[in-house]
Amino acid sequence: MDEASLNSSLIDRIVDLLQIDQSYLFITGAGISADSGLPTYRGTGGIYDDSNTEDGMPIEVALSKQIYEKNPKITWKYLGEIEKALRGKMFNRAHKVLAEIEHHFERVWILTQNIDGFHQNAGSKNVIDIHGDIHTLRCTTCKFQKWVKDFSGFLIPPCCPKCDAFLRPDVVLFGEALPLEKISSFQTELNKGFNCIFTIGTTSVFPYISEPIKIAKGLGYPTVEINPDTTEVSHLVDIKLSLNAAKALNLIWSRYQENNFY
């Protein structure tokens, strides 16, 4: 069987998993935003593939709690580069398909590692952005918080208009704990169970990203991975579709609509 025929067969199997009265979890990573013109992180061509930044440290160190507390200008420098890469970009067909799926099926949730806000912008409501949103700034001392379109015109690091302490994007830096309220929300939904779990565009290197796949595998629930690369969970999933997210989800949703006259 050639690659096109294999992919078509896999898409048919995935479409057969989609039932209107069932529940689905979609776990997404940087790969789902790649078709919006954003680089992935650890995949092919990822921005973390280079050994060191121009400041002589790996990007994970530059974007760490330790460096932020010692020299916030360094962390802000690279957060600013990430934010600048987002300017003028918007959600793509993959994000839009997931929003349409949420509105069509009984219960759909998205757990995303992305900090770009594209899922929400595309219309998804049930989104747990476990690593935060780069456009939300919060004070490191008081409760001040605001949403900003971009970082242009900022003094780096910017100061809080209320107490003059530093502001920072409300994102999880390396070495920081995940936000408890988001972990709790995700655990609540996970405890309710899902009929199928999809992992899309993530290398699944973090345990909290790969664990739902392992749980589903143990319980006998079907799992699907959409990723052109081999990842930490590729050997576990029931269906592995080696396409980029936008192409794969568009093909899946188009075939579902054809089959269900929707």
Q: Exactly one of 95, 103, 104, 131 is catalytic; name it.
A: 131
Pair of tokens at residue 213: 């796949």
Q: Residue 192: name the closest of 109, 253, 112, 120 by CA.
A: 109
Q: Rounded distance, CA 252 to CA 257, Å?
A: 9
140 vs 234: CA distance, rounded Å: 39
Q: Which residues are CB-contacts of 225 (< 8 A; sequence separation ≥ 6)?
A: 198, 199, 200, 231, 233, 234, 237, 239, 240, 241
Confirm whether 131 is a catalytic residue: yes
What's the maximum distance between 2 C-alpha atoms anywhere in the chain? 65
223-226 and 239-241 strand pairing: parallel
Concatenating the DSSP letter of every residue in 86-126 gives HTT----HHHHHHHHHHHHSSEEEEEE---S-HHHHHT--S
DSSP classification of residue 36: G
DSSP code at position 195: S
How many whole angstroms separate alpha carbon 101 and alpha carbon 87? 27
State how far the Cα of 133 lies from the Cα of 97, in Å rounded to an integer.
Answer: 21
Active site members: 131
